[in-house]
Each structure stands twice: as structure tokens, then as C-alpha cells.
Amino acid sequence: MKILLANPRGFCAGVYMAINVVDELLAVCPGEPIYVYHEIVHNRHVVERFRQQGVQFIEAIEEVPTGSIVVFSAHGVSPLVRAQARARNLLAIDATCPLVTKVHAEAIRFAKRGWQILLVGHREHQEVVGTRGEAPESIQVVESPADIPHLHIKDPSKLIYLTQTTLSLDDAALVIRALKQAFPEIKEPPTSDICYATTNRQTAVRAIAPRAQLVLVVGSKNSSNSVRLTEIAQNDGTQARLIDDASELQAAWFDGVETLLLTAGASAPEDLVHAVIAELITRFGGEVEQVDVFDERVEFGLPASLRNLLRARGRETEGRRITLDRERDTAEFLAANNIPHHTVALTIGQSK
């Protein structure tokens, strides 16, 4: 069997940063309780691993003892949650994805100008809840074109749409087209709100899936972007399965499959992908072809709130960087396990 391994896949920079934040806290605060507001990312394995290390996930700030450490997840929080944390004298460490922070800033800016904001996304998703909390009187959530007739618009010339960062390009485009038809004067954000990593993973699936008879997406069911990757493959005519890990593989899926595409949602850790590769090679033999569509090697600094805590604990922060290089890490894994592999570049555009 040939396994086409999509690159990019798995952790995006924002998720990778959020997980590193909690890892750093566990290392520098041994024995201290660490609380995370909501799931740090939408992946069952990541959350369970942190639980086993003593991290406590909470759904209300009131659950955190006064003066304790609380981490805001990659999805972001509303100003109300931040105020509640300050009122309890909590040491808040912000692991919000920078792209989510960008959408929050846009919401604040346009609300202050007196504009109405239509936020395209899933109403109950934590990212949307947090963004809406920045300006609840100015923001209305639009999940689908069916919501448009129920919107209350005061001045169509002072109207802008923003989007949840993890939306499918197709889903977002459907709603945006309908909004532009209903409100021809509606403005769009200065730059796209949809995460470049979300876009790149979806584009890679579209580009590679036609070569395969089956697409496997590693990710949890509550991960929006993982679900979308599965749907994109299916909508383009390739059978696709969403799995949490290798234990969910079913033999019947592989009847007649000579080539499969393996990818992962932006909140899925790479070791789960490696375990799926190892299981497939054990069952079927074959080789891995890593298909590079976009180069997402990323290096960035620690969040300011984490740097401040590390300095207060006497830890050096000068020059500390977080580096993500999946192509290198995967090549090392394949070589270490004697799995036949090679890499090909598929140039279809540039990441944003």
C-alpha cells in the first residue's frame, strides 16, 4: 500500500504554542495546581494526557481557587472571563491563538466605530463565544444563510462580516455569498480571518485526495477543522474516515485500497499520526510518500504572560523560541523505524 502523507497536517502554530504553554507550566510549577479554562485544544488525547499530569480543565472561572494559575485555551475567551479571573486574583496565562486575537481586535475596532458585525461561525464554538463577548451588542452570529432573514440591521452601509478562524473555506464562502447578496454594501475584514493553517490543510486534501481511494483524518469529533477535512474529501468524491487514533482502524475500510491519503486536523498530535503509519505498514506493508504542499516551518517567541511567570520563577527567557518543523520530525520517525519513504513537492500556491 502507498501512504500519501499530507504536509501540512496536524498541529498548527497556535495549537502547538498552547500545548507548549501548558508543558512549560508543568515543568516550572511542579506540584502546583494548574487549571485550564475549557479544553486547551479540541483533541481527546491531548486533554487526557494533561489530565494524567494533574492539569484540571474547568468550565467556569469560579471553579479555580483564588490566587491559582489558570490558562486561557487556544480558542480565546471573552473580556468577562478575563475580568472574572482578575477578580479572583488568578495568575492568568494566555495561550490564545494569535489569529483568534486578531479577530477579537477587529471586533473591538469596528464596534467602537459604531458598526454592526456579522460573525460567521458556529454559535456554541468557544472561539465564537469569546469573540462575541468582545462586543455583544454589536455582534450577531450567522451559522448559515437561513439565519440572514432574522438579522436586525440598522445601517447596511456600516456592516462588516468576520469569521471563525477554523471554518471550512466552502462553508464560509456559502454564507459570505449569501450575506453579500442580502447586503451589497457589507464590508469584508482587512485580511481573511480563516486561519492559514486551516486553509492549507484543506487545500492539501483537495490537491492530493484524487490520487487516493481512501482518506484517513486523525482528529477528534469535536474538532471543527478535523471534521471539515473529512467532509472536503467526501464532497470531492473520495471516501474518508475521521479517527481519534490507530485503535479505530477497521479492516473493511481497506478492501481495494492501494493508495490512501493520511492527514490530521490542526489539534491532532503527530505521534498519533505516526502510530497510524506504523499500524498500516504492519498490516499492509508498502511505503510512505510525504507530499509537501505548503512549508509551515514556524518559529516564534513565548507568550508575554508565560515569559513574565518564568522570569518571576527565576527561569531564563532570553532567546527562548518554540519551533515547529513537521517535515524534519516525520523524516526522522520514518528513518528510525526503517519505513520506506520519500518526499515530493506539490506546488499549487503559497500559504498566507
Quote the domain boundaries for residue 202.
Answer: 2-12+196-298+325-345
Domain identity same for 8 and 74? no
Show which of 77, 97, 117 is a domain's final residue. Answer: 97
The reply to whether 161 and 31 lie within a common domain is no
Q: What is d(CA 75, CA 130) in angstroms, rounded to the nearest whole number?
A: 8
**Overall average pLDDT of the 56-79 stretch:** 95
Name the domain boundary from 97, 118, 142.
97
Verify that 85 and 54 share a domain, yes or no: yes
**Which CATH number belongs to the domain containing residue 23 in this structure?**
3.40.50.11270
Residues taking part in catalysis: 127
317 band by pLDDT with thresholds 50, 70 and 90? confident
Specify the pLDDT at position 352: 37
Under 8 Å between Cβ of 129 and 78: yes
CATH of residue 229's domain is 3.40.1010.20
Q: Assess whether 284 and 155 both reside in one domain.
A: no
* Confidence band, pLDDT 50/70/90 cuts, at residue 24: very high
Q: How would you list the strands of the sheet with 34-37, edge to edge? A: 56-58, 34-37, 69-72, 91-94
**32 inside domain:** yes
Same domain, yes or no: 157 and 207: no
Do 66 and 144 share a domain, yes or no?
no
What does the pLDDT read at residue 350? 42
Q: Tell me 238's DSSP state.
A: -
The arithmetic mean of pLDDT across residues 43-49, rounded, is: 93
Residue 258 lies in a domain: yes
Does residue 154 share a domain with residue 81? no
- Number of domains into which the chain is organized: 3
Reported as a pLDDT band with limits 50, 70 and 90, residue 304 is: confident
**Domain membership flag for residue 313:** no
232 and 336 both lie in a single domain: yes
Distance separating alpha carbons of residues 1 and 260, to the nearest angstrom: 8
3-class DSSP assignment, residue 2: strand
